[in-house]
Structure 1
Amino acid sequence: MLVEVIVFKFGGSVLDSDEHIKKAAERVKEAYSRGIGVVVVVSALRGVTDSLISTARKANPNITPEMLDEVISMGERTSARLFAAALKGVGLDAIVVDPDSSYWPIITDSNHLDANPLYDETKQLVEKRLKPLIDSGKIPVVCGFIGKTLDGKITTLGRGGSDTTAVLLGSALKAKEVVLVKDVGKVFSSDPDKVSDAVPLSALDSEEALALSLGGAKFLHHKALSYKAEKVPICIASLDSEDKGTVIDGESLLNVDIDAQPDPITMITVVGNINGSHKAIGELLDTVYSAGGRVISMGSEPKSIVLYVVNGAKVLGKIHSWVVSTGFGKAVSSYDNLVMITVKAPAMETSPGMVQRVTQPLARNGINVYGLVTAGSSIRVFISMADREKSLALLRDALMVTSRKEVS
């Protein structure tokens, strides 16, 4: 039985010639020769998916998403067979795993053209169908980008779907690592096409990678990161180098977390014709910190700025004096004894209705939300400290969170 498993994903921009396909096969053979189990995920060859979409829509401008999924899935099916042939050519026992195979593990919802994998169902099938193949020494070549609903209909996972497939399988297998082989084998500090002094990054944690992806970086789609498991690093690598490129590691992004800030918070509102220069806002924050306060969140509008401050009661007077004396604003008000509850979930900002799922259970139970701030994949709500435990219970129930996580 092979103890460790590596998941390799080869994109269409990498498998763009017979030379590169052979080189990718040798990369797999080298890992396998070290006694490591290997799963390979492949994308369609470069340009094939776009060509299939274009042809299908010309043939039928009203083609249904369900039918289009059937058509564009053919790109990955072809790639899987080509790559399996290349692996056999270097002496490896490769087996094609596509949706028609009895070994197929990827189960999704029915959101055609942008389906979401169902993790628990997929994990069960990975353990039942894919793991025995790996343990027997075979190398599954899995079609990336494709899923299958519980009732057997073909789906596709949307942009970056093959990366999602690879990360999902790596998590389900508790892999040693997931290696995403791309034409650019590193993540950079910014887009090199836009910034002249961009530098390659050797490492990112899960949240940093998610924030970059959500901010428009193209190295990995955020949906893929949402299936990353703890202790399963993702390596962004190139075909031309044995270097691991950029390693993404850190905590799992699979679950919803609810954190309760333990310290009482004061919501301080400054109103007036805010003189909102960067320098003035910096001086306001300096006033808070020099008086012993700590800003944990903030928000602004044209005629007000709101600070959420630990130790706010003791700094309120200093803030008021500074605001009035500098003309930054006209008046200051405050609410004491609030608590911040943070709800974090993968790809929350692309999930419709998440703010309502957080706020509605509170409103229905008479709990006032004094403030709400969204940032990345988190929602922060500020409520009375007296409602803390009740709110946590309501949110855990509404979001189906069973474990409790407190910020210390």
Structure 2
Amino acid sequence: MELIVVKFGGTSIGNGERIRKAAQSVVNEYMKGNKVVVVVSAINKTTDDLINIMKDAIGDNVTDKQMAEILSMGEMTSIRVFSSVIESLGVKSQFIDPFDELWPVLTDSNILEAKIDFKESELNSKKILKLLDQGIIPVVCGFLGKNSKNQITTLGRGGSDITAFFLGHSLDADEVIIVTDVVGVMSTDPNKIQDAKKLDKISVEEMRDLATHGAQILHPHALKYKDPLISAKIISYENGDLSDPGTFIVGPNEGVMMKSSMLCPEPISIIAVVGENMLKKPGLLAKLTDKLAINDINIFGISAGQNSVTIFVNKKDSIKAHRLLHDLVVEIDFLSSVSLGKEIAMLTLVSPEFIETPGIISDITKPLRENNINIVELTSSQTAVVIFVDWKDGKKAYEYVREILE
């Protein structure tokens, strides 16, 4: 017997036929002897319709409390419909909304972007286990929470996935299943490249980076709640089968935190290649990086300007890399010169929250500016910031910037 938490997205319960197929898939798992907790989103486009009606009616003169209450209607309707369909299939079910004494998700009072109170919520969620022991399938609103004043809150983007992963953790589930409108995670968007392949598995870290760069399968915020010890997968609603393999989400690796900071233990050297209109020369970066790659030299960072390309390599490889790149400068007419610069330190900060934190670059660099530490180079993605400073300032700079993650 296994305990499964399954979340159905809005598209997967987009009409009566899909709801019945979804409910049947849950009942099928129940009939195998498994315990199933269901989390549902609002029926497809319901939330958008509610928002549009509200805007047409009162414009922007709506309070956060009113907004949360109105938005909650989508999920509260879904659980009632879904639970009723399960019972029509001959299995006992109970819907659980924020007004129920069994409600598991307790939050702070940030109404529209609420954070889960883990200690209280984990304790409260155990009440659901009593229903499971009685052979009842609970159907829980995704996306919603309740604060200490018994007000409805919402968990923000990715809220229903957050609910599913959180319940998986707090109930010690064996598996969390995310049912959506795709067969799993693909090698690329199949709407753009037809021969895209489904991945059998993907790591949390890879999934997070994929999500932050536009993939709509899971919101990266939800992945912070993924328990490394619990199996999780993404499947399509099409087959109506929760045993569909889909794509498994692996990790995060034990001991690897979603937030991390690192000071590279060895000095990095800067090599600058200069030339004319380098950004307009197709294949130039490939030539530079291939020259180093075939000679087994790793690149820690690279930045390009109109008339220069800066490459960061380990100091121990710098002399060899300098010579190899000089050979290219001599061969290629539009390149002028190459220089080997000073030793620098590389600091790396990683957090899935960076993407949703306005001014994070300013927050990170402020203590360096205040302590007169010069930044040689800075690169960033949606979840990581890499800073290069003088080697002599490395340890001190690291202590300043790592505090941002605490």
TM-score over 0.5 for the pair: yes
Do the aligned partners of residues 21 and 283 (structure 1) sit closer, same or farther apart at CA in structure 2, a change above 3 Å counting?
A: closer
1:312 to 315, 318, 322: 318
Query: Offset at 1:316?
Result: 1.9
After superposition, residues 255-294 of structure 1 pair within 5 angstroms as 255-276=258-279, 277-290=281-294, 293-294=297-298
Partner of 2:249: 248
Distance 2:244 2:94 in 1: 28
Write the letter of the residue equivalent to 1:106. Answer: V
Residue among 130, 134, 142 paired with 2:125 = 130
One-letter amino acid of the counterpart of residue 337, structure 2: A
- Residue 352 of structure 1 pairs with residue 358 of structure 2: yes
- Which residue in the other structure is 1:392 paired with? 398
Q: 1:168 to 1:300 in 2, by over 3 A?
A: farther
Measured at CA, do residues 283 and 11 of structure 1 come closer, stay the same or move farther in structure 2, by a change above 3 Å?
A: closer
Partner of 2:51: 53
CA separation of 1:300/1:65 partners in 2, compared to 1, >3 Å: closer, same or farther? Answer: farther
Give the C-alpha shift of residue 247 in structure 1. 1.3
- Taking only the aligned residue pairs, the percentage that are identical comes to 35
For residues 215 and 284 of structure 1, what CA distance do their matches in structure 2 show? 26
Would you say 1:98 and 2:104 are equivalent positions?
Answer: no
Question: Match for 2:374: what amino acid?
Answer: N
User: What SS does structure 1 have at the residue aligned with 2:278?
Assistant: coil
Verify the 8 A CA contact 2:15 2:43 in the aligned structure 1: no
Distance 2:297 2:287 in 1: 14
Q: Is the 8 A contact 2:277 2:307 kept in 1?
A: yes
**Structure 1 residues 172-187: aligned runs within 5 Å:** 172-187=170-185
In 1, the alpha carbon distance for the partners of 2:252 and 2:37 equals: 23
Deviates more, 1:339-348 or 1:272-281: 272-281
Q: CA deviation at 1:344?
A: 0.9
Residues paired across the two proteins, number: 394
Deviates more, 1:355-364 or 1:248-257: 248-257
Q: Give the SS at the match of 1:346.
A: coil
2:126 alignment partner, SS class: helix
2:337 maps to 1:339? no
Question: Does residue 1:296 correspond to 2:303, yes or no?
Answer: no
Q: Does the CA-based 8 Å contact 2:126-2:170 persist in structure 1?
A: no
* Rounded Cα–Cα distance in structure 2 between residues aligned with 1:370 and 1:342: 14
Q: 1:211 aligns with which of 196, 204, 209?
A: 209
Cα distance between partner residues in 2 of 1:261 and 1:37: 47
Given that residues 42 and 143 in structure 1 are in contact (C-alpha distance below 8 angstroms), is that contact kept between their aligned partners in structure 2?
Answer: yes
Cα distance in structure 2, aligned partners of 1:56 and 1:147: 21
Which range is displaced more, 163-172 or 39-48? 163-172
Taking the aligned partners of 1:370 and 1:316, their CA distance within structure 2 comes to 19
Gaps of 5+ in 1: 401-408
Return closer, same or farther for 1:282/1:262 CA change in 2, 3 Å cut-off: same
| Structure 1 residue identity aligned to 2:126 | K
Report the residue type matching 2:247 in the other structure: T
Q: Output the aligned Cα RMSD.
A: 2.7
Shift of 1:292: 5.4
What are the superposed Cα offsets for residues 192-211 of structure 1, whole Å, 9 maximum, x if unpaired?
A: 22222222222211122222
Q: How has the CA–CA distance of structure 1 residues 157 and 305 changed in structure 2, closer, same or farther, with 3 Å as cutoff?
A: same
Q: 1:289 to 1:25 in 2, by over 3 A?
A: closer
Contact 2:125 2:170 in 1 (8 A): no
Q: Offset of 1:397 from its aligned partner?
A: 2.7
* Contact 1:37/1:134, CA 8 A, preserved across alignment: no
